[in-house]
A and B are shown apart, each in its own frame.
Chain A
Amino acid sequence: MKELIEYIAKSIVNAPDDVAVNEETDEEGVKFTLQVADEDKGRVIGKQGRIAAAIRTLIRVKAAKAGTRASLEIL
């Protein structure tokens, strides 16, 4: 899942080297935090959070296949 988030983020930002994804697992599932360069924030969030929402939907597919839950936060 981490690679999926990383791949999407790196593919849509201007500073792919500044993309970092953190992963934390607790009883609720896996929590990911995505960090990008300040000027790229809009590129991963999108108007009304549309891009972030779409990324979340895709990681949920992967999580469902793995029988777990996943959440994504953008820092």
Chain B
Amino acid sequence: MGGEPAVVRVEPLASLSQPDSQVIEVAKGVLETLLGKIGVAATVVIQDKSKVESGVSQIVFDIKGEDLGILIGRRGHTLACLQFILRLIVGHQIGVWLPIVVDVEGYKARCSERLRALAQRLAERVRVGGVPFSLEPMLPYERRIIHIALADYPGVTTESIGEGNARKVVIYPK
């Protein structure tokens, strides 16, 4: 077989360590357009993006309005879809991938807080009892919260096991 080595040209999406406000406004506009076309009356609030989690600054859009449970969906499924589509549109339109997080009335923020508290409680139990504990299956970003919460916790380590929707975090004694 002849031929020459394939040339693969990969252009990195311009990465923005500090997304400029103009890009954020574009993204906000896309989200507002989506909400308008979905037919929910809501306002989008840009949250303080200085909130840095594990060194990655995220742009958090919090959607505020009445009766927005419909946007969250079962276990946040609809919200995850909305965020996915928003990232896709913004990525396609401005050629820049942005770490956008879409929240509804602080729903994710509350869930994260709850997950962190749960992680601490269970880690303590594992550390004292010396028996691994496996949590229920979670979404990637939820597992990430647990891993980060316990990264520096003395006496335990965490690992994700299982595939796809069944993937879950296990806390092991060290």
Chain A interface residue bracket vs B = 10 to 19
Contact assessment for A4 and B78 in the assembled complex, using a CB-CB cutoff below 8 Å: no
Chain A residues, CB < 8 A from B34:
4, 7-8, 58
* Interface bits B21-39 vs A (CB < 8 Å: 1, else 0): 0000000001001100111
Contact assessment for A12 and B89 in the assembled complex, using a CB-CB cutoff below 8 Å: yes
Chain A residues, CB < 8 A from B70:
61, 64-65
Cβ of B60 within 8 Å of any chain A Cβ, yes or no, is: no
Cβ of A55 within 8 Å of any chain B Cβ, yes or no, is: yes
| A58 CB contact (under 8 Å) in B81, B92, B93 | B81
Cβ of B85 within 8 Å of any chain A Cβ, yes or no, is: yes
Contact assessment for A54 and B39 in the assembled complex, using a CB-CB cutoff below 8 Å: no
B-side interface residues, number (CB < 8 Å)? 20
Given A57-B77, A61-B71: A8 in contact with B85 (beta carbons within 8 A) = yes
Contact assessment for B33 and A58 in the assembled complex, using a CB-CB cutoff below 8 Å: no
What's the least CB distance linking A63 to chain B, in Å? 10
Cβ of A11 within 8 Å of any chain B Cβ, yes or no, is: yes
Cβ of A50 within 8 Å of any chain B Cβ, yes or no, is: yes
* Bound: A65/B40 CA distance, A: 9
Cβ of A3 within 8 Å of any chain B Cβ, yes or no, is: yes
Best-surrounded residue of A43, A57, A62 (most CB of chain B within 10 A): A57
Cβ of A51 within 8 Å of any chain B Cβ, yes or no, is: yes
Chain B residues, CB < 8 A from A43:
92
| Extra A-B contacts (8), CB below 8 Å, given A11-B92, A43-B92, A54-B84 | A11-B30, A51-B88, A57-B73, A58-B34, A58-B78, A62-B39, A65-B39, A66-B39
Residues on A lying within 8 angstroms of B by beta carbon are 3-4, 7-8, 11-12, 43, 50-51, 53-55, 57-58, 61-62, 64-66
